[in-house]
Chains A and B, each alone.
Chain A
């Protein structure tokens, strides 16, 4: 009964490949997010998405794209992977997109680009 789940947990791939990370939440939340955590533990928001609005952090390269087949899923697609994409990626969700709302995080996907 995991609240926010991600697959895979580890992803090792070559530069130039295209890969996807899946995220699912069973909390009935309206809003989902993707974060990137670098090797120094710094967390940066990449996207937030609900059924009305996609907000993209302007610093995110357009090689990264979120895809939401339904309200419970927000997958992250990455094209033409680069060495600098190596990081831990976290999916999160919240009930709404209000500033009081707690975000629930998945366990993370460690991406290594060789």
Chain B
């Protein structure tokens, strides 16, 4: 079946630091890949997505590239802000047309 493995948190960074959250997946066929963000006390929001190999999704300074050869979709941001503190979820949608989520990575950015 499908699965998503995310780097375990929590991750604590200083403001303006570089962020990488690793995500790898196992799936049959050609899944779509997503990053969702959950701010404290809220539901999940789509951050970015990529639907085919070598696509790069980007939004709000975050980006991730769909790498089929390494089955990865790592999230990066060049300079994080305090307002980026949240839980980040990598997810895939495959032939079952349902989202499979990773375990989530808690990010805390300190001023």
Contacts and interface: CB of A to CB of B under 8 A. Distances in A.
A107 B104 CA distance: 17
A52 interface: no
Interface residues of A, number: 24
A42 B97 contact: no
Interface residues of B, number: 27
Interface of B: 31-32, 34, 36, 38, 41-46, 49, 51, 87, 89, 93-101, 103-104, 106
Contacts of B34: 102
Interface of A: 4, 33, 40-45, 48, 55, 90, 92, 97-108
Given A42-B104, A45-B99, A100 B32 contact: yes
A62 B6 CA distance: 30
A26 to B, nearest CB: 15
Contact of B32 (A55, A99, A106): A99
Q: Which of A103, A106, A108 has the most chain B CB atoms inside 10 A of its CB?
A: A103
A41 B43 contact: no
Contact of B46 (A40, A45, A103): A103
A101 B106 CA distance: 25
Contacts of B99: 45, 103
B45 A105 contact: yes
Given A55-B98, A98-B97, A43 B89 contact: yes
